[in-house]
Structure 1
Amino acid sequence: MSGELETIRRITAWHVGSALPRGEVINVHVADNDEILILSFVRMGGESLPWGVALGLMGEEAELFSVADPRNRDLVATSLVEVAKRVLSHFGHPDFTENTDETAMMYRHRQIWVPGRSHLDLLHTIAFAYARTNWDRPEIEVLRAFGQLCNCLFVESQRPGQQTVIVASDALKIAHIFPGSSARQGHLGYLLGWLGRQRTRQTRLAAAHAAEKLSVAAMLDPELERSQLGPLVEKWNEPAWDERVSKGKKTAVAISQVLQTELERRHQLVESTIEILRQDARAYNSGLTDLVRIGTDKFSKLWFDNALRESSGNIDERPFWPGLWGDVNAREASFAYHQRVAADRERVHFLVHGDRELQNEELMKGHGLRGEVKAVSGNGSTWTFIYDYPELPSLKIGGTLSIAGIPKCSLTIVSIDPETREVILIPRWKSRKTGVGPAAEAPSDRSWLRQTLILLEDFPANLVTKLSYKVAKQSETDFDILDYFSFEADDVPVAGGDDE
C-alpha cells in the first residue's frame, strides 16, 4: 500500500509540474554550520581509494586534496593524512582537538553530509584500507584512526533514524516528492533541478535533465576521464617511478585543476541542498530532538568511547571496534536485524506524532485507527471507540495505542469488533497531558466525547531491542549454516594480483 501511495504522490507532482512538500514538517535534522562537515570524493575507474577529496564546514570554502595518480598508494596515503586530521578534529577525536578540559571527554553531536550514496562506499573502502593496517609509514596512526572513524560512520549510516551521516539526495527525498523514477532520484543535481526557480513543468524538467548529465557520484564521468584526465595521467607516468613526483609537477597541477572543478561542483550541490532545507517555510519535526539525542548516545558508544580508550593507551581498557565485514554468522545477522527493526520503529514513534503525512501512512498499513469516541464510562476507566478507517487494522487485543500528537496518552485494547467497528479501550494516563498538539485532558473529562481522533500503534521498540540481545546470548554454539559446506584447501580460489 505504501508503494501505491508513493506512486500517487509522484503522479500528483508530475500533474502539478514541480516538486511537492512531503508532509507538514521536515523530518531530517539540519545542524548549525559549525556542526556540518561536507565531504565529497572522486575516484578513478577501477580504483577503490579516492583520487580527490573536497571537505569543509558549511558556509566555508572547501579544501581540496588530490593526487596525480591514485594507483600510487604512497601519494594517496599522504593526501589522506591531511583529510583525516580535519575529519577527526571535526568529530572531536581526543588526539586531534585543541580542547583539553573535561568537555573534550564528552561527544557532541556532529554531522557529515555527502552528495550521494556512492560516497558512503568510499568511507567503507577507506576503512578497509587503513583501519587494521600494519603499514610502516609516517603518521600511520592518523590513517588508522581515520579508518576506524570511517567504518563507524558507515555502520551508523545503516541505522534507521540516525542523524549523523546525511546523504543529501536522501534528505531532499525525505522533505519533498519528486515526479521522477527512483533511479533518477538518486542524482542530487536532478532533484535540485526540480527545485529551481523555473516556472513551468517543461523548464523544470529541462533543468533536471541538464543537471543529471553531470556526474555527482564518486565515480567520474567516463568520457571526461578518458578525454581530459587519461592523457595527463599517461604523461605523468612517463618518467621513472622515483622521478615522477619531481618531474611531473606541472602535470599534477593540470590533473588537480580538472578534479577541482568536479569536486567543487559536488560540494556546492550539497551546500545548495542544506540552504533549500533551511529556507523551507515548514517547521522541523519536534521528534528530531529525540532522534538527535539517541543518535549522539549511539555514536558515542560506537566510536567516541572507543577512541578515548585507544587514546588513553591503557591496556586494561582496550577499544572494541566494529568489524569491517559486517555480519559474519547467523547469530550476528539476527542481532543486527532486530536492532534495526527496533531503530526503525523508534524512528517512526518519534516522528509520526509530529507529521500527519506519516500518520496517514501508518493508518494505511493498518497500524492505527481513525474514529470517534462514543462513550466515556467508569469515571474515565473505559472508552468506547468507533473507527471508520482502516477497513482491516492489524491490531491485537492487549496491544497499546497512543493519541496522535500526544504520545504520553496511551490506551490498552480490550476488545475489537470488526463488524460493528467498536473498540473498547482502557486509558493509561490519569491527569492532563501536553504534547505536540493541544493539551489532553484527563480520560474522565467529558470533552473527549464525539471527538475524532487518530490512534497509532504504540510499538514497543525497547522490547525488540531486548529481544536482539536475548537472541545474541541464546545460542550456545557458533553455529553457522556455512559449516555444512566443507572446502579443501586446493578448492579455495586464490585472488590474483600483485600481492600473490
Structure 2
Amino acid sequence: MTTRDVVRKLRAWQSGAPLARFDTLHHAVVSPSQAMVAAFVRMAGESRPWGIAWGKVGTDPKIVSVPDGRVRDDVAVLCADFAEDLLAHMRVHNWTYDPVGQTAALDELRQLWLPNGQHLAMLHQLNYTYSQTKFGGANQDILQAVGRLAGWMFRDCSRTGHQHVVVASQALAHAYAFPAQDARTAHLGYQLAWLTASGDRVERMAAAADAEQLTVSPTMDPSLERDELSGLLEKWQAGRREGAPPAEVEAAIAGTLSTELDRRWRLTEQAYLLLADGSLPVNPGVDALVAQAHNEFWFQHQRIELRQSDPSQGPAFIAHPETDFHGSSAASRYLTHASYDEGHDGHLVHHDAELLRDALAEGRALRATVTAVANHGSGRSTIPVWTIRVDTDSPHRLRENGRLVPYGSRGHEATVTSVTIDEDGIELDLEWTTRKTMNLACGIAGKPVDPAWIGESVQFVIADAADLTRRRSQRVWAAKDGPGAWLTHGKAPAPVQITDDDGATDLLVDDVTQITGATS
C-alpha cells in the first residue's frame, strides 16, 4: 500500500462512504448480453462443484446442482450442462456456429463475471479435473473442451490487463477506496453494502458488517453444511445404496444450494450493474487492452482448439494444468506477461489524471518547463530538440538515454540526451524521436519544433519497453540452437509420466518435439 492509498482510505473514512480511486475504469464493461455471470458452491474439502449458477446479466440465472458433490458422474453431467453455455458464450471453435476469429472487433469481447478470487480458482479445478479426463462417456469431448477453456481463462487472469474474466470483488477494490481494512474489503457483499447502503458512515458500516456474515466463497458456511445438509446427505446416500434415492431429500438439498447460489450470482450481477452505470467512464486506453485480450484468446486458446479438430493447421500444444513442463513455453509466456505488465499503465495514464498523480508520486512521471526549442536537422530533415527545467518537488528516475512520452500525447516520444544538475535544479536536453513533424495532443498542440513551446509547462511519463520485451518472447522459439538452449529447449532423458486426476497416465515428450515439431 502506497502513501496515496492511505490518503484515499482516510478521505473515504472522512466522507463516510467509498470514493473512486481513479477518474476512469481500467477494464472493459461489455453490454449485458455479452456478460455471463457464474457462481459455484462446493462441498467442504472437495474440488468439484456441488452446484453452479450461470446466466446473462438481466436474466434469471440457470441454477443446477447435484445431490452429492462426491459422485463424479453426476458432477460431470452438471459441468457438461454449464460447459455447453460457457463455450457458446465465449464463441469457442467447434462449439458454436459463430466462433471468434483472429481479427475480432473491439465490441466482440465476451466476459465472464465471477464473485471473487475463490470462484476464479474453481476454473483451475475444472481445468485440472476435465482437460485430460478419460471419463465422461458421451460428455467426454465437451468436458475436455471446457477444461481447456477454464484453464486458459484462469491462466489469463495472471496477465496484467486481461479482459475476458472479471472478478467482481477485485474490480470493485480497484475502482473504489473503502474506509476499511483490505482483508474485509475482499468480501463482495461487504463492498456492495458500503457502496449501496444509505445513511451516514455508522449506518453504512453496520450494513456492511451484516452483509459480511453471509459467505460468498464457493465453500459454504460450515454451520449450514453441518446443520442443514449433512443429515439430508446421509438420507440420500442411504436411499441410493438401496437403489431408490428419496426425491424429497434431493429436492431439499437442491433448494438449499439454490438459495446459496442465487445470492452469490445476484451479488455479482449487482457489482456489474454498479460498474456499468456510467458514474465512472471506461478509460479510452482500454480499447488497446481489449485488442491485446483478443490477440491472447486467439493465439493461446482459439487457434489451439482449431488445431485440435484440424491437425493440418499445425501441432496443438495443450498446457498441462499442473505446470508448464516445457522450458520454451514457460520462458515465452513469462516474457509475454512481463511485456503486458510493462505497457499496461502507458495505455491508461494519458486518460486518467489520478493515474498521472500516482506516477508523479512514484517517480514514473515528471513536470517540466520548456526553456529552449531548436531544430538540429539539416536540409529537409527535422530533429526537434528541447531544453527543459524539471520540477524537483516530486521524485524522479531520470537518466541519459531514457525515453519520455508527453502526457496526453501517446505516440510522441523523446530521448534524454543529457542531464545537467546545478544549483537551480535539473536541466534536460530532449531529442524528439517519433512523430517529429506532427502536432502534440497536449499543451498548445503545436509541433515539437514550434518555438511557441518555450515557457510552457509540460508533463512527461517515462516510456516503457513493452515492445522490446514482447520481441524477446518471440525469439525464445528460435533459440533452439542458441545461448541458453539447454534451459529452454533441453531434451528430457526419458519421457515424463504424468498421472491425472482420474488416475490415468500420459507421457509428455520434451518441448522441442511437442511444441515445435522438431526431432532434434
Q: TM-score, normalised by structure 1?
A: 0.90
User: In the alignment, what sits opposite 2:219?
Assistant: 219
Q: Is the 8 A contact 2:197 2:207 kept in 1?
A: no
Q: 2:281 aligns with which of 280, 283, 290?
A: 283
User: In the alignment, what sits opposite 1:200?
Assistant: 200
The answer to which of 323-332 and 420-429 deviates more is 323-332
- Quote how far apart the aligned CAs of 1:341 are: 2.0
User: In the alignment, what sits opposite 2:404?
Assistant: 401
User: In the alignment, what sits opposite 1:294?
Assistant: 292
Unpaired segments ≥5 residues, structure 1: 484-493
Q: Is the 8 A contact 1:374 1:386 kept in 2?
A: yes
- Quote how far apart the aligned CAs of 1:89 are: 0.7
Q: Is the 8 A contact 1:369 1:390 kept in 2?
A: no
User: In the alignment, what sits opposite 1:209?
Assistant: 209
- Quote how far apart the aligned CAs of 1:248 are: 2.3
Aligned-partner SS, 1:297: helix
The answer to which of 123-132 and 6-15 deviates more is 6-15
Unpaired segments ≥5 residues, structure 2: 377-382, 493-498, 505-520
Q: Is the 8 A contact 1:408 1:433 kept in 2?
A: no
- Deviations along 1:235-292, whole A, 9 cap, x unmatched? 111124372xx43221111111111111111111111111111224332111001100
Q: 1:386 aligns with which of 382, 386, 389?
A: 389
> Given the superposition, is the C-alpha separation of residues 367 and 395 from structure 1 closer, same or farther in structure 2, using an over 3 Å criterion?
same
User: In the alignment, what sits opposite 1:488?
Assistant: none
Give matches, 1:9-158, under 5 Å: 9-99=8-98, 108-135=108-135, 137-158=137-158
User: In the alignment, what sits opposite 1:376?
Assistant: 373
Q: Is the 8 A contact 2:416 2:429 kept in 1?
A: yes
- Quote how far apart the aligned CAs of 1:498 are: 9.8
- Deviations along 1:15-70, whole A, 9 cap, x unmatched? 22110011222212100112111111011100000011000011111001100000
- Quote how far apart the aligned CAs of 1:71 are: 0.4
> Given the superposition, is the C-alpha separation of residues 213 and 408 from structure 1 closer, same or farther in structure 2, using an over 3 Å criterion?
same
User: In the alignment, what sits opposite 2:337?
Assistant: 340
One-letter amino acid of the counterpart of residue 299, structure 1: F
- Quote how far apart the aligned CAs of 1:92 are: 1.1
Q: Is the 8 A contact 1:42 1:217 kept in 2?
A: yes
User: In the alignment, what sits opposite 1:432?
Assistant: 438
User: In the alignment, what sits opposite 2:416?
Assistant: 413
Q: Partners in 1 of 2:333 and 2:100 — Cα distance?
A: 32
Q: Is the 8 A contact 1:331 1:475 kept in 2?
A: no
User: In the alignment, what sits opposite 1:423?
Assistant: 428
Q: 1:452 aligns with which of 449, 454, 457?
A: 457
- Deviations along 1:59-90, whole A, 9 cap, x unmatched? 11100110000000011001111111010111
- Quote how far apart the aligned CAs of 1:390 are: 5.4
Aligned-partner SS, 1:406: coil
Q: Is the 8 A contact 1:373 1:384 kept in 2?
A: yes
- Deviations along 1:174-204, whole A, 9 cap, x unmatched? 2111112221121111111110141201111
Q: Is the 8 A contact 2:128 2:501 kept in 1?
A: no
Q: Partners in 2 of 1:389 and 1:471 — Cα distance?
A: 41
- Deviations along 1:129-149, whole A, 9 cap, x unmatched? 110111262221110111011
Alignment length (residue pairs):
482
> Given the superposition, is the C-alpha separation of residues 295 and 40 from structure 1 closer, same or farther in structure 2, using an over 3 Å criterion?
same
Aligned-partner SS, 2:29: coil
- Deviations along 1:437-456, whole A, 9 cap, x unmatched? 67731012233222222100
One-letter amino acid of the counterpart of residue 124, structure 2: H
Q: 1:267 aligns with which of 265, 268, 271?
A: 265
Aligned-partner SS, 2:412: strand
Aligned-partner SS, 1:9: helix
Amino-acid identity (%) = 30
One-letter amino acid of the counterpart of residue 431, structure 1: T
> Given the superposition, is the C-alpha separation of residues 240 and 5 from structure 1 closer, same or farther in structure 2, using an over 3 Å criterion?
same
User: In the alignment, what sits opposite 2:518?
Assistant: none
User: In the alignment, what sits opposite 2:495?
Assistant: none
> Given the superposition, is the C-alpha separation of residues 46 and 295 from structure 1 closer, same or farther in structure 2, using an over 3 Å criterion?
same
One-letter amino acid of the counterpart of residue 260, structure 1: S
Aligned-partner SS, 1:294: helix
Report the aligned-residue RMSD.
Answer: 2.7
> Given the superposition, is the C-alpha separation of residues 384 and 417 from structure 1 closer, same or farther in structure 2, using an over 3 Å criterion?
same
Q: Is the 8 A contact 1:368 1:395 kept in 2?
A: no
- Whether 1:441 aligns to 2:446 is yes
- Deviations along 1:318-353, whole A, 9 cap, x unmatched? 422222123447766554433222111221110111
One-letter amino acid of the counterpart of residue 89, structure 2: H
> Given the superposition, is the C-alpha separation of residues 398 and 188 from structure 1 closer, same or farther in structure 2, using an over 3 Å criterion?
same
Q: Partners in 2 of 1:48 and 1:439 — Cα distance?
A: 59
> Given the superposition, is the C-alpha separation of residues 438 and 325 from structure 1 closer, same or farther in structure 2, using an over 3 Å criterion?
farther
Q: Partners in 1 of 2:138 and 2:253 — Cα distance?
A: 25
> Given the superposition, is the C-alpha separation of residues 136 and 88 from structure 1 closer, same or farther in structure 2, using an over 3 Å criterion?
closer
Q: Is the 8 A contact 2:101 2:298 kept in 1?
A: no
> Given the superposition, is the C-alpha separation of residues 241 and 453 from structure 1 closer, same or farther in structure 2, using an over 3 Å criterion?
farther
User: In the alignment, what sits opposite 2:249?
Assistant: 251
Q: TM-score, normalised by structure 2?
A: 0.86
Q: Is the 8 A contact 2:443 2:458 kept in 1?
A: no
